[in-house]
Every structure is written in C-alpha cells, then in structure tokens.
Amino acid sequence: MGTPAAISNRERAALYMISPSARKSPECNWTPSVTEMPQPVSPAIAPVLETGRLVLRGHRLTDFDDVAAMWRDPEVVRFIGGRPFTTEESWSRLLRYVGHWTALGFGYWTIRERDSGRFVGEVGFADYRREIDPPFEGAPEIGWALAPWAHGRGLATEAVSAVVAWGDQAFGPAARTACIISPENGASIRVAEKCGYALERTASYRGAPTLVFARSGL
C-alpha cells in the first residue's frame, strides 16, 4: 500500500510502526536495526522497542500501580507541576496514554528493565493541545519521566533515543518534534540535547516560564 504524497504526522504515525531489534548500546546515537520497511498495522497497538538495557511497550492496566507510585513521588514531580499526582490523576494519565495510540497512532510507552522487568518509567510522544504562548503549531511533543531509583544511570537517554529513532521513521523525514522543560531541570535539558533537541525559545505555560526545545527528523 503506497503512502500518500502529502500526509500529516498523525496519519503517518498511524500507518507505520516499527519494532526494532535490540542493540546493546546505551548511547543516544543508538539506531534501531530495521531489516525491512515498516508495515501498516493497527494504530491502537504500540510497537515494542528494545535497547541494550530496556524494553519499551504500550501501557497495560497492570502497570497502574507502578505508574501511580511514580507520579506521587515528590522527586519525580519536582519540575513537573510541583506536586504529587492523586490516584485519580494517575488513572486519567494512563487512560490518556492508551487513547493516544488509538486516536492518533502515537503515544507513550512504559519503560522496563530488560533483564528484571522492573518498572523504570515512561516516555513517548503526545498531543496535549497545550495552551502555551507561543503554541507548538502541531508538532508532536516528546516527554519522559523515570522512577527515582533509575535516575543518573543513563536510562533516560537510552529510552528517549529509542523513541526519537522511532519518531524519525513514523513521522517522516524532517518532521519537527518538540518538548518543554523547566529552566531548573538540568538533567532533562542534558537528555534533550544529547538526543538532538536544541533550545528554540522561552515560552509561558500556566503563568510560568518554560523552555521549548525542538528537533527535526532524519
């Protein structure tokens, strides 16, 4: 089935998903091994991505306890809203992850250690329709959050790298993606820069300054 000449990021992601083979490299320049062109699959299915240390897969209801525990940890939310999430808010977040894949063909993955299955965190692309000034202008927004035990081990860079590589395939050459980061969140700024994101501007979101980083595709 051919791909239309003019196709949006959402349509392209809904049509094409890949599940790259694992390659043991935690560095951000890790590239998935793709042996054939991605094939059309259901947009409701998040592809499994594997790296040297991690497995990224779509969220399941059985992930909820881990998701809720992470989002109520003060260290995790220090630069993301500044307050722990309630159980209700975490439940809505998990359902929103699942809904993204169904409606848009892209979304978030849960991250687990490849060897132990231990919950590491979450990473993915979203369209939150943020009321940010100036706006994103339709660019998929990448984001990530890791459980405190996983901080400082290069796992965020490894996971974001895998998702960025998927995005380059799913959204097409030269597609623009973006992310917002608190100016005080030095660790996430470093991850973004390692994975090809560059500071684009300072914006205002919910009355506070935030940094907007952007990246083009292949």
Residue 162 lies in a domain: yes
Cβ–Cβ < 8 Å for 177, 125: yes
The pLDDT tens digits of the residues spanning 90-142 come to 999 999 999 999 999 999 999 999 999 999 999 999 999 988 888 877 899 99
Q: What's the structural domain count of the chain?
A: 1
Residue 36 lies in a domain: no
Residue 38 lies in a domain: no
Judged by DSSP in three states, 156 sits in helix
pLDDT given for residue 69 in this prediction: 98
Radius of gyration of the chain (CA): 16
Query: Residue 36, CB half-sphere, CA atoms under 13 Å: how many?
Result: 2
Residue 65 lies in a domain: yes
Residue 25 lies in a domain: no
User: Which amino acid is residue 148, in one-letter code?
Assistant: P
Residue 193 lies in a domain: yes
Distance between CA atoms of residues 26 and 80, nearest Å: 25
Tally helices (H) and strands (E) across the chain.
5, 10
The pLDDT tens digits of the residues spanning 21-35 come to 433 444 445 444 433
Residue 111 lies in a domain: yes
Highest-pLDDT range among 29-38, 69-78, 207-216: 69-78
pLDDT given for residue 133 in this prediction: 82
Using pLDDT thresholds of 50, 70 and 90, give the confidence band for residue 8. low
Closest C-alpha to 164, from 195, 187, 140, 137: 195
Residue 3 lies in a domain: no
Residue 169: which CATH number? 3.40.630.30
Distance between CA atoms of residues 30 and 24, nearest Å: 9
Kindly state the DSSP code that residue 133 receives in the 8-state scheme.
B
pTM across the whole model: 0.80
Distance between CA atoms of residues 141 and 180, nearest Å: 8
The pLDDT tens digits of the residues spanning 170-207 come to 998 689 999 999 999 999 999 999 999 999 999 989 88
Q: First and final CA of the chain: distance in angstroms?
A: 23
Q: List the domain range (segments joined by +) for residue 73.
A: 46-215
